[in-house]
Amino acid sequence: MNNHGGARPNSGRPTVGDVRVNVRLDRATVDRLREIGDGNVSEGIRRAAKTATPPEPAP
Question: What pLDDT digit, counting tens, does each position of 2-59 carry?
Answer: 666 777 887 777 767 778 889 999 999 999 999 999 999 999 999 999 999 988 999 8
pLDDT over threshold 60, residue 1: no
The reported pLDDT for the residue numbered 20 is 80
The reported pLDDT for the residue numbered 42 is 94
The one-letter amino acid code at 4 reads H
Neighbour count for residue 44 (Cβ, 10 Å):
20
The reported pLDDT for the residue numbered 36 is 97
Burial of 14 (0-12, 13-18, 19+ CB in 10 A): exposed
The reported pLDDT for the residue numbered 8 is 80
